[in-house]
Structure 1
Amino acid sequence: MRSRHRLFTAGIAAIAAARADRWLHHLARGLGIVLMFHHVRPRRNVAFAPNQLLEITPEFLIAILVELRREGFDIVPIAAVPDRLRSDRRARPFAVLTFDDGYRDNVEYAWPILRQYESPWTIFVTAEFADGRGRLWWLELEQAIGELDRVVISRNGKLLSLPSRTLDEKQAAFDAVYRQLRAGPMERLRTVTAELASQAGISTDGLAAQFCLSWAELQDLAREPDVTIGAHTLSHPVLAKLHTTAAAREIAESKVLLERRLGRPIRHFAYPFGDRSSAGEREFRLVRNSGFATAMTSRPGHLFPYHADHLNALPRVSINGLFQNRAALRALFSGVPFLLWNRGRVAEIET
């Protein structure tokens, strides 16, 4: 995880130094871009924050909106994406703002800014988080390792014991456990994080209610014309790890439940995690069969005309909280990092 961050930092620095975001953007920039956010809140004064990549400050959100307009992007609602992808290539580029999981800070800190800048936005809601009973296991893992001096879990019948006293040890332990759990079954992931939380004396009850919007709050939000609410499954699993029947239920029933609770059609979906190991052709088919108009992955890239034929597998650009600076934004908005990532192709087919 840290090696990827170092590579990203070096890449952004190289693009900025060569001004590649200026002279290559006409080749790399697509018709539009879908930005992916999670938390928006004031900077936390904590030493150990391995999930910091999932949060940006309100001030940086303002910088994003200013930079989008400076670069000539129209900020449009998610419902406009299909038509914009079929529009004339000479049209102004567009940007869509999406927020995953349904965090309360999106309303508390992001929405006033978005309203001030007249920017429509979409929030993808995990139903069990709105119930107050979902498992924010990545937060459980962060809090547990933050408290523990040693992290002990079983692995293939053997104990894995990792020191966790210093900040470097804690980060290394978090990276190792996170990587191992993501590679295994969902049942083990949730069991292990619950066990670590118990060892650290941390209760897993109430985290969703603490950090995520309730149904009552979502019902109020659903009445706002500048807000679109989308589905993000029932329980936020890695869909690719589930049996087809279970994956179909997570997708289809999240739509039905949100429509029933909010009294609004739910036309848009985001895959939890959303990378290639989390969602593929089977999941894309299940989403299409469930009647969603669009679905968002987290595969990185801009939107191009051919994405009009792949509306159930659209790429997004994650706004990483570790890189809150204008150089990173200019590079991402130019499309140049994705041109390099895809080895000279403007984009990678998302199926």
Structure 2
Amino acid sequence: MNGRHKAIAAAFKLMAATGADRWGRSFAQGAGMILTLHHVRPRLARGFAPNALLEITPEFLDEALSLIRAEGYDIVSLDEAVLRLQQPKRGRFFVALTFDDGYRDNVDHAWPVLAKHGAPWTLFVTPGFADRTARLWWLELEEAIRILPRLDIALPEGPCTARTETDAEKNRAFDRLYWRLRKGPETILLSAISQLAAQAGIDATALVERECLPWETLRSLSGAPGITIGAHTLTHPMLAKHDAEAARREIAESKARLEAELAMPIRHFAYPVGDPGSAGPREFALAREAGFESAVTTRPGHLFAEHAAHLHALPRVSLNGLHQNEAALRALLSGLPFWLRNRGRSLDIA
């Protein structure tokens, strides 16, 4: 856990200790919220785990759903969440659950917990992962650094070198290279990580096969009670880094492909990565143009009445694997962290 995450953890604890997560609800809590999840699987103890923020344990998911129910909140489908925004009425706070990318562990470990609680959920699927043609580049980077004792890679703005013998060195190297690549064009990011994967002997296709659901399973999930399938682009690009035609194709054709493969309407969309550097007003308009009823970002925040006019720029709240505790969850449910972050504004759509 880096300094930023330690500060966030301390803030959650302070909110719990002072009761701010309780009294803050009166002005900070919205009508509901959409949770973002990725992996749900048993904890694996390891010193180098830079993507650990993307995974929670089945036990924590169980605890989270139990707490949401105990607080008297509704767990609803994404369809119902959108309907409650479009037809507002005073009622209980609601929570919608969404899972990005289409991982195998969502079925193996998350679904049994969700079924236990009668919780509907949305699975945002990238057809390229089901095809084994798209790349889980953030996992490729992690696996390469785990294997290699040293980083030595040429980049357009200069080489990147670092020792990666210890877990601490590997964590520093990952953080440094990850954000350096994220700031630039996605073509450079993919090329650089391909170089590292080749040096480490990593098979990118085998990695996707290991992690992601195949079409056969996705077809069996389509139409299952409580499960909504949504689109997550064709190949998981950071859309804002590409020209309008490429972004339009990724959005619209992901809908068409999923509808053809699963023989069902696809109504909801999730922007890959989903931060302002990956999805903005242009992408919001393209998702609307493609015929989606809603589209979700990863901009953090609760849902408010104002979001009814911006259904293609909905915020979500991440269940972060680095903060798997009751204090963190109560803070997120209160809305207070987002009220502070957004300076009291309900919308973050610029």
List alignment gaps of at least 5 residues for structure 1: none
Aligned to 2:103: 103
Aligned to 1:189: 189
After TM superposition, give the deviation of residue 199 of structure 1 in Å.
1.1
Counterparts in 2 of 1:72 and 1:346: CA distance versus 1, 3 Å: farther
Counterparts in 2 of 1:89 and 1:17: CA distance versus 1, 3 Å: farther
Aligned to 1:117: 117
Q: Is the 8 A contact 1:248 1:286 kept in 2?
A: yes
Runs of 4+ in structure 1 deviating by more than 2 angstroms, as ranges, are: 1-4, 86-90, 155-158, 346-351
Counterparts in 2 of 1:47 and 1:4: CA distance versus 1, 3 Å: same
Q: Is the 8 A contact 1:133 1:209 kept in 2?
A: no
Distance 1:82 1:123 in 2: 16
Aligned to 2:294: 294
Match of 1:155, SS?
A: coil
After TM superposition, give the deviation of residue 167 of structure 1 in Å.
1.3
Q: Which amino acid aligns with 2:147?
A: E
Q: Is the 8 A contact 1:32 1:93 kept in 2?
A: yes
Does 1:137 find its partner at 2:143? Answer: no
Normalised by the length of structure 1, the TM-score is 0.97
After TM superposition, give the deviation of residue 346 of structure 1 in Å.
4.7
Q: Say which is worse superposed, 98-107 or 73-82, in terms of deviation.
A: 73-82
Aligned to 2:305: 305
Match of 1:111, SS?
A: helix
Distance 1:346 1:12 in 2: 21
After TM superposition, give the deviation of residue 162 of structure 1 in Å.
1.1
Aligned to 2:47: 47
Q: Cα RMSD between the aligned structures?
A: 1.2
Aligned to 2:29: 29
Aligned to 1:230: 230
After TM superposition, give the deviation of residue 225 of structure 1 in Å.
2.0
Normalised by the length of structure 2, the TM-score is 0.97
Q: Is the 8 A contact 1:131 1:209 kept in 2?
A: no
Aligned to 2:337: 337
Q: Which amino acid aligns with 2:104?
A: R
Distance 1:204 1:215 in 2: 18
Aligned to 1:348: 347
After TM superposition, give the deviation of residue 157 of structure 1 in Å.
4.9
After TM superposition, give the deviation of residue 88 of structure 1 in Å.
4.5
Q: Say which is worse superposed, 250-259 or 147-156, in terms of deviation.
A: 147-156
Q: What does 1:212-251 correspond to in 2, within 5 Å? A: 212-251=212-251
Distance 1:287 1:311 in 2: 10
Q: Which amino acid aligns with 1:158?
A: G
Q: Which amino acid aligns with 1:113?
A: V
Q: Is the 8 A contact 1:296 1:315 kept in 2?
A: yes
Q: Say which is worse superposed, 243-252 or 6-15, in terms of deviation.
A: 6-15
Counterparts in 2 of 1:144 and 1:268: CA distance versus 1, 3 Å: same
Does 1:64 find its partner at 2:64? Answer: yes
Q: Which amino acid aligns with 1:20?
A: A
After TM superposition, give the deviation of residue 46 of structure 1 in Å.
2.4
Match of 1:152, SS?
A: strand
Aligned to 1:169: 169
After TM superposition, give the deviation of residue 309 of structure 1 in Å.
0.5
Distance 1:157 1:250 in 2: 29
Distance 1:216 1:135 in 2: 20
Q: Which amino acid aligns with 2:234?
A: L
List alignment gaps of at least 5 residues for structure 2: none
Distance 2:88 2:101 in 1: 33
Distance 2:279 2:88 in 1: 30
Q: Is the 8 A contact 1:31 1:89 kept in 2?
A: no
Match of 1:297, SS?
A: strand
After TM superposition, give the deviation of residue 201 of structure 1 in Å.
2.0
After TM superposition, give the deviation of residue 87 of structure 1 in Å.
4.2
Q: Percent identity?
A: 53
Q: What does 1:6-21 correspond to in 2, within 5 Å? A: 6-21=6-21
